[in-house]
Amino acid sequence: MILWDEDELLPGVEWKQEINKRLKTADIIVLLISPNFISFAYEEMQAALRRHEAKEVQVIPVILRPTDWKETPLGNLQALPTNGKSVVEWRDRDQAFQDVVKGIIRVVTSLYEAKMTPPIRFPRPMVNPNPLSPSEVENALQRLVGWKVLPFFVPGAEPKSGIEMVKTYQFANYDVALGFINKASEYIAVLSHHPTWEITWGTVRARLTTWDIGHQLSHYDFDLAKYLDNLSSEYPPLKQKK
């Protein structure tokens, strides 16, 4: 993290140009609000707020002295110290600044975690999938571990039957198993292909079939099976008793 304020301006530098440059490249802008700021830095405030509205920067107003800041465009922002009470109005100003620091740290931590978390890459949903032939199913199944292809009766349409892929995952406990399902739902929502789940404590049974093609198997099912296998490795397994 690099901190900067106008006190770091070098002699001979065009101060307005340099401030605008910093406003355009900052991740967090802390505005120290006082009557003088409202009167003389309104243009810089507007520039910061435009980037804030575009979700390019996080603007944090810090209220130093009493002023009608809520009547300005800043009024829509959560200010520091807590409840927007100016620093000079606190009985203990050290406590006020400590409150400000804690608030800024929360914002910095949130932005850092967001940047460190890689974006989830989802596959493009397939359109009008074709059923796989028996040989294609057999070849695809060889690239997976623990999955079985079984016939089943279509719920509510017996004796109509179909084919499904089935696998049972074992996790440390119910919370871990549920976390696995919840995380998988992000991928499933984008793929728009939904498994049938059966969960008992730390055991999750996943059943896959493509209803749109008469309860046969498609590439959807094998793509999702591969994803579930990769995802399951990120969760604590059930410890085997010695």
Question: What average pLDDT score do residues 194-222 get?
Answer: 92
153 and 86 in a common domain:
no
**Same structural domain, 199 and 154:** yes
Q: Residue type at 155?
A: P
Question: Is residue 192 one of the residues assigned to a domain?
Answer: yes
Tell if the pTM clears 0.95, that is, is over it: no
pLDDT tens, 29-81? Answer: 999 999 998 888 878 888 899 999 998 999 999 999 999 999 988 999 999 99
User: Of 116, 142, 159, which marks where a domain is finished?
Assistant: 116
* Position 239 in a domain: no
Residue 216 has pLDDT above 80, yes or no: yes
* Residues 108, 10 share a domain: yes
- Enter the DSSP assignment of 136: H
Do 109 and 154 lie in a common domain? no
What mean pLDDT value characterizes the chain?
Answer: 87
In a domain, 127, yes or no: no
Domain shared by 110 and 10, yes or no: yes
177 domain residue, yes or no: yes
The answer to whether residue 121 is domain-embedded is no
Same domain? For 12 and 94 the reply is yes
Q: Do 17 and 112 sit in the same domain of this protein? A: yes
How far is 241 from 236, CA to CA, in rounded Å? Answer: 15
Work out how many domains the chain is built from and give that number.
2
- Domain boundary among the residues 116, 145, 179 is at 116
Give the Cα separation of 31 and 38 in Å (integer). Answer: 10
The verdict on 95 and 29 lying in the same domain is yes
Answer yes or no: do 74 and 139 share one domain: no
Instruction: Give me the mean pLDDT over the 10-25 stretch.
Output: 84
CATH code, 170: 3.30.1360.20
Tokens of 94: 């050290």
Tell me, yes or no, whether 55 lies in a domain: yes
Residue 111 falls inside a structural domain? yes
* Range with the poorest average pLDDT among 13-22, 168-177, 232-241: 232-241
Cβ count near 181 (within 10 Å): 18
Q: What percent of the chain has pLDDT over 70?
A: 90
**Which residue among 55, 85, 116 closes a domain?**
116
pLDDT at 35: 93
Bridge partners of residue 199, in order along the sequence: 204
Judge if 167 and 85 occupy the same domain. Answer: no
pLDDT of residue 39: 86
Q: How far apart are CA 177 and CA 168, in angstroms?
A: 11
- Domain region containing 196: 134-232
Domain-embedded: residue 122: no
Highest mean pLDDT out of 48-52, 112-116, 205-209: 205-209
